[in-house]
Amino acid sequence: MTTRRDFIRTSSAAAAGSILSLDALASARKNVSPSDKIRVGAIGVNGQGFSDLESLLLNPEVDCIALCDVDRNVLNWRTDQLIKAKHPKPKLYVDYRRMLENKDIDAVIIGTPDHWHCLILVNSLEAGKHAYVEKPIANSIAEINIMQNAVKKHKKIVQVGQWQRSQPHFVDAIKYLQGGNLGRIRTCKAWSYVDWKTAVPKVADTPVPEGVDYDMWLGPAPKRPFNKNRFHYTFRWYWDYAGGLMTDWGVHLIDYILYGMNKSVPESVMAIGGKYAFPDDAMETPDTMTAVYDFKDFTMIWEHTIGIGNGNYGRAHGMSYIGENGTLVLDRNGWQVIPEKQRIPALPVQKNIGIGLDLHTKNFLDCMKNNTSDKLTASIDIGRKVALVANMGNIAFRTGEKVVWDNNKQQFSSAAANKYIVPEYHNGWELPKY
């Protein structure tokens, strides 16, 4: 059998979003017996959902037999890519519910905008499918609780796309941290400085583009005229569909603060910020924001800004654990330890090795094969914890209050904050009951 070493991708190829068309991989796929095949369908394939599919297809036992997207232009584009990469043409769907009726599908990838994650995951589980769902798992606190309950009921394998959990140097950094080397940690920071993003210019509403099922794209979100700023990639800057940088980058980075500190629920959070970089552009979510979380024995600070790339410690993104003996700084490029008054040895940058996404999807496959969720590196419980924390930060920002969370009651002490817990579904769609 050909090994995975034959299928290593370069970072440039991965960034380009194209599947490597390797004869060795095509040949290995043909040699897998039908009984060993894992048949995948992908829902939402314009962006990260297709990257997840690419990664899964590096494993010869995986076949993509279905693609679903509300934009037929995207469906045709991605189908062409698969065919050029020597994959059979998949069945194409615009309505994910029709795709879930396909009994040949073993697992689905959910790469849609955030406001769709809850419904699609619940429906996928009810249809008997395993699922790889992108982060954040949902756009509200009620939805993340529903998703967790549904996974427990249906007992399917669900991996959340927080792939840093599978990245070796992240794991090594946490082992060092939890070894106690830094002493007592008082403050943790996580940040994302996005210098590559600019303003989103305001544009007029237009007719729905040809080939797009816009009603299906809106789903449970409020009915609005079509505007290209609310569609495809830039959906993430609108509260109807997502939570801005807090739930985009923040979920990845805050996750590792929770993991490293072995914490899950803060007692309170307050947040400030606004549209300071581009006050007159089309975004709704803040381009600049700081949130402070109180975990009682330490404080976590999240900060993000758009249009600036010189973040903490000279890193555009990352996290730091500030202890009495030193500070551990970690990002996707590597990690290092900066000593406090030479109390511990300095540790130079330990560089990133390996492709975390590929390891993450491989972990998902292995757990499906063994029919056990015990070894998932980003289970629904992990996804729920960080989605809760990220949503709390956004709620504090939107209310302008310091919000205090009662974890037993699953609500805030503030009536204004509690209004954001349960989303209102529109257009005939109903919030699942679990």
pTM above 0.85, yes or no: yes
What pLDDT sits at residue 226?
Answer: 98
Convert the pLDDT of each residue in 73-126 to its tens digit. Answer: 999 999 999 998 888 999 999 999 999 999 999 999 999 999 999 999 999 999
Amino acid at 79: T
**Range 4-164+358-380: architecture per CATH:** 3-Layer(aba) Sandwich (3.40)
Domain segments of the chain as ranges: 4-164+358-380, 167-352+384-418
* Percentage of residues of the chain with pLDDT beyond 90: 90
Q: Which has more confidence, 66 or 14?
A: 66
Convert the pLDDT of each residue in 393-410 to its tens digit. Answer: 999 999 999 999 999 999
Closest CA to 379 of 216, 229, 161, 199: 161
Contacting residues for 333 by C-beta, under 8 A, at least 6 apart: 315, 349, 351, 352
Output the DSSP codes for 171-220.
HHHHHHHHTTTT-SEEEEEEEEEETT----------PPPTTB-HHHHHTT
How many Å apart are CA 381 and CA 259, to the nearest integer?
12
Q: Residue 12 above 70 pLDDT?
A: no
Is CATH 3.30.930.10 the right assignment for the domain spanning 167-352+384-418? no
